[in-house]
Amino acid sequence: QIFEDFSLWTPPGSKQKTDLSSNEDCLRRVIGFYQRMIGGKKALDILRK
């Protein structure tokens, strides 16, 4: 649901609707990030790279 709520991904009052659940690049990156965290890496360490 977070990916479908465009208000979380656009500036306040924006009429643009962005549905990240349809964005394959975003989903690929989020899945990779999640998998690294499951593997024991810390979020901040991943983001620093």
- Tally of CB atoms within 10 A around 19: 11
Question: Nearest CA to 17 among 27, 29, 34, 3?
Answer: 3
Mean pLDDT of 12-28: 72
40 or 18, which is more confident: 40
Q: In the predicted model, is pLDDT for residue 2 greater than 90?
A: no
pTM flag (> 0.85): no
CA-wise closest residue to 26 among 9, 49, 44: 9
**Stretch 20-26: mean pLDDT:** 72
